[in-house]
Amino acid sequence: MSKIKAPKGAPYARILGVGGYRPVRVVPNEVILETIDSSDEWIRSRSGIETRHWASDEETVAAMSIEASGKAIADAGINADQIGAVVVSTVSHFSQTPAIATEIADKLGTNKAAAFDISAGCAGFGYGLTLAKGMIVEGSAEYVLVIGVERLSDLTDLEDRATAFLFGDGAGAVVVGPSEEPHIGPTVWGSEGDKAGTIKQTVPWDRFRIGDVSQLPLDSKGEIKFPAITQEGQAVFRWAVFEMAKVAQQALDAAGISSDDLDVFIPHQANERIIDSMVKTLKLPGHVTVARDVRTTGNTSAASIPLAMERLLATGAAKSGDTALVIGFGAGLVYAATVVTLP
């Protein structure tokens, strides 16, 4: 039996650069109130959301990703042709094949980098970051571009009072590269498929081939609705508040970091009430900076963590070298948490 040569990569990995892109159009709660019976006060009290960004036709998943990625690559101080792999997490690229990552890799000029999409909902960035770390340590890539990108306005039912105000669009990207010291901790991740129905698409795509209108949702005008994201709000809230706080603590423990050592907390930007509850449950000290990008960006699923990270660094609320706990959670139900050093 022949021996297979063992791969050799870097001892560790770290985030070297971050970039974000938010669509030009800013949508205040007043616009949402045109189609649902609610109030600005109710939306803010339930979610903390004041505005969100919605993409134009030109601001495609690929276009937003390229903008965010260009900034991340520049921030990392490398060239695009040094990228060995491109990982895109999204649930809103509507072409089944090919993966949007291949188009992004080509347009960035990455010189035939490995490129693929993953679908892990709001935990997708954490999944992508974990894959990137593994590729670098294994030696299959020196630099990996991880992108979280969504056009959730395309999947929003504006007549659904429970979700119409939640979702936004945008892209966030990071470059992960080699390091002589550990700057990305162990990932605590998993799934709870028995709760898959709590966040889901209203109807599967194949229903549109049946031709029976009775099998499809209709809007108030009797016209067929495009599939949208729906959720059982209370069930998701309870799960996030109680179970995800435990996962966050496990990630701290796995990294050997106490809450006193922590500088920044970047949870998935789903809902400010969830964020507040997690901060309380984790008993985070007052010096810890907490990302609250949800107020002006809404829930951008896989894009929410890198977008929040980029804004904290850009505004000076966090700085390079800070120790940050990041956790994503959502449809699946899936989750991923880790401790990182900010670029």
As given in the structure block, the two tokens for residue 200 are 């889901």
Quote the DSSP letter at residue 259: T
Beta partners for residue 229, in sequence order: 201
List the catalytic residue out of 53, 93, 183, 268.
268
Domain holding 61: CATH number? 3.40.47.10
299 is catalytic: yes
Same domain, 107 and 172: yes
Name the β-bridge partners of 173: 19, 147
Final residue belonging to a domain, choices 115, 144, 179: 179
Residue 275 within a domain: yes
Q: Which domain holds residue 104?
A: 12-179
Q: Which residues sit opposite 169 in a β-bridge?
A: 151
Domain match, 267 and 317 both? yes
Are 192 and 142 part of one and the same domain? no
Task: Give residue 95's pLDDT.
Answer: 87
- The reported pLDDT for the residue numbered 274 is 96
Residues 166 and 192 in one domain: no
d(CA 133, CA 178): 9
Contact between 194 and 333 (Cβ < 8 Å):
no
For residues 86 and 173, state if they share a domain. yes
Of the three residues 179, 204, 237, the one that is the final residue of a domain is: 179
- Report the number of distinct structural domains present in the chain: 2
pLDDT of residue 224: 72
Neighbours of 127 (CB within 10 A): 24
Q: Which of 53, 93, 183, 299 is catalytic?
A: 299
251 belongs to a structural domain? yes
> Tokens for 156?
């929003």
Same domain for 236 and 174, yes or no, is no
| Dihedral over Cα of 158, 240, 252, 13: its sign | negative
Tell me the sheet residues that pair with 178.
Answer: 13
The answer to whether residue 220 is domain-embedded is: no
Token code pair at residue 299: 């829930």
Q: Would residue 29 show up in a list of annotated catalytic residues for this protein?
A: no
Residues 148 and 234 in one domain: no
The reply to whether 216 falls in a domain is no
The predicted structure's pLDDT at residue 213: 62
Residues 181, 85, 334: CA angle, nearest 5 degrees:
80
Q: Any idea which residue has 């949800």 for tokens?
A: 294
| Residue 35 included in any domain | yes
The kind and range of the H/E element at 30 are: helix 29-32
* Spatial contact of 275 and 292, defined as CB atoms under 8 Å apart: yes
Q: Are residues 192 and 166 in the same domain?
A: no
pLDDT at 28 (0 to 100): 98
183 catalytic per annotation? no
CB atoms within 10 A of CB 241: 18
In terms of domains, do 159 and 192 share one?
A: no
Contact call for residues 149 and 176 (beta carbons, < 8 A): no
Q: What is the pLDDT of residue 206?
A: 73
Q: What is the pLDDT along the chain (343 residues), one digit of tens a residue?
A: 889 888 789 999 999 999 999 999 999 999 999 999 999 999 999 999 999 999 999 999 999 999 999 999 999 999 999 999 999 999 999 888 999 999 999 999 998 999 999 999 999 999 999 999 999 999 999 999 999 999 999 999 999 999 999 999 999 999 999 999 999 999 999 999 999 899 888 877 777 766 556 667 766 676 777 788 888 988 999 999 999 999 999 999 999 999 999 999 999 999 999 999 999 999 999 999 999 999 999 999 999 999 999 999 999 999 999 999 999 999 889 999 999 999 9
Residues 286 and 311 in one domain: yes
Tell me: do 174 and 233 sit in the same domain: no
Residues 72 and 162 in one domain: yes
Whether residue 284 has a cis bond before it, omega within 30° of 0: no
C-alpha torsion sign, points 206, 209, 211, 217: positive
Note the helical H segments in the chain. 29-32, 40-47, 61-76, 100-108, 124-138, 233-255, 272-282, 294-297, 304-315
**pLDDT (0 to 100) of residue 212:** 59
Q: Is the pTM of this model over 0.85?
A: yes
The verdict on residue 301 lying in a domain is yes
Q: Which of 53, 122, 183, 271 is catalytic?
A: 122
Residue among 71, 33, 67, 46 nearest 299 (CA):
46
Structural domain contains residue 147 = yes
Encoded amino acid at 215, one letter = Q
81 is a domain residue: yes
